[in-house]
Structure 1
Amino acid sequence: MMRSGSSSLISSRLRFLGAALLVALLAACSSPATRVVLLPQADGSASAVVVRAKNGEEVLSQPYQRATAKQGASGAPVVDAADAAKVQAENKPLFDMRPPPSQRYTVYFELGTITLTAASQKIMEEALAAAQARPGGDIVVVGHTDTKGTLQNNDALSRRRAQEVAQLFIERRFPANRIEAAGRGERELAVPTADEVDEPRNRRVTIEVR
């Protein structure tokens, strides 16, 4: 959430729907009021926010929708569309503080192993470089398998693959406490197949550098 000064803010509560929702609280120029502007998410995904005033509420669900609740006014906040260019120009320092968008990578493994394919070794280097260039960020790695083998064995293999990738980041001095590693086995196939099918595109780890 990004804030600028606002005098005598009336009581309002924001409920966020979406992990990366960005909201700007802006002061009304003519009279004391709370203004909420919904900013677009960096990845273009949908988001929304509920703006509650003393006697009503409104939902903002479109980028640059604005809700204004004036002090002492009755009823729900008034919703209109803010000028995107004007919001950005008037709040440039706040926009400059926004973190860069997440970067996503996928690396693949040899059948039944935690060994990266030759092509994926280069992708892994790109992911490592991206992580090192983003101070204060974190990483989520999720391991997957194809449908060869039992569910139990594939769960364990997917966790080992995720842990192997996480260890590569740690070896490059990325803090271990900012890495989340998990395994999903064969539950989330990139390419749907029948059981006991050797599908290289399913033997993977997804990496999100954020």
Structure 2
Amino acid sequence: MKNRFAFLPTLGLGMAALTALSLVACSTPGTRVVLLPQDDGKPSAVVVRVKDGEEVLSKPYQRATAAVGASGAPVVDQADAAKVQAENRQLFDMRPPPPKRYTVYFELGGTTLTASSQLTLSEALAEAQARSGSDVVVTGHTDTKGTIEQNDELSRRRAQEVVQLLVERQFPSSRIEAVGRGERELAVQTADDVDEPRNRRVTIEVR
């Protein structure tokens, strides 16, 4: 019997997407699904469904096998990580590099980057341009000076400022997503109405 293998990393995929991938993988007799670890080490899971049942893979290198003609749920066991990697080296080599995150900072109350952040922005752009088909997620943040509404707007403006700088340097706008989080995700926890330079930031995730 010739088996078909599906290797499922969970980075960037929601449970619905993972379930869909599992359904596709298990529609072929003799299919095996192996859950790969996330690059950041965070826990993950995937549902593997066949006609007569389902199983959840939640540990790195757990394997679900749906044998030809078998009834019931897939059989789950633990694959040997080194063996899986050695036997499928070409597939592992084809995996995209993990996302890289950069942080740029702003002067108080506005959308002007600090001098040192100009260099960081250039590094992020170089990384994005070096990756084939890359996209960028830009997330704006503020400190706790001002109202929540003001900071929501300011964080969006900061994110858009970074987007504009990237586009001006020839990175396609269609491959950039920008959001503002205001003061909701402080890098440094402070009381309200506190001027904290490390919270006045935009994160740039290149993936």
Same fold per superposition (TM over 0.5) = yes
Which of 1, 8, 12 aligns to 1:19? It is 12
Q: CA RMSD in A?
A: 2.7
Which of 95, 98, 103 aligns to 2:100? It is 103
Unaligned runs of 5+ in 2: none
For normalisation by structure 1, the TM-score amounts to: 0.84
Distance 1:132 1:74 in 2: 49
Residue aligning to 1:67: 64
Distance 2:81 2:11 in 1: 21
Distance 1:117 1:16 in 2: 37
Q: How does 1:1-210 map to 2 (within 5 A)?
A: 6=3, 19-20=12-13, 33-210=30-207
Superposed CA deviations along residues 123-151 of structure 1, whole A, max 9, x for unmatched, are: 11211111111121100001111111122
Q: CA deviation at 1:162?
A: 0.4
* Identical aligned residues as a percent: 72
Q: Which has the higher strand share?
A: 1
**Which amino acid in structure 2 is aligned with residue 183 of structure 1?**
G
Contact 1:161 1:205 in 2 (8 A): yes
Equivalenced residues, count: 196
Distance 1:74 1:94 in 2: 30
Q: CA deviation at 1:121?
A: 1.9
For normalisation by structure 2, the TM-score amounts to: 0.85
Distance change >3 Å, CA 44–CA 111, structure 1 → 2 = same
Q: Which has the higher helix share?
A: 2
SS class of match (1:181): strand
Write out the 4+ residue segments of structure 1 that deviate beyond 4 Å after TM superposition. Answer: 15-18, 20-26
Superposed CA deviations along residues 90-137 of structure 1, whole A, max 9, x for unmatched, are: 222221221110000111111001111122222112111111111211
Unaligned runs of 5+ in 1: 10-14
Contact 1:16 1:48 in 2 (8 A): no
Contact 1:20 1:41 in 2 (8 A): no
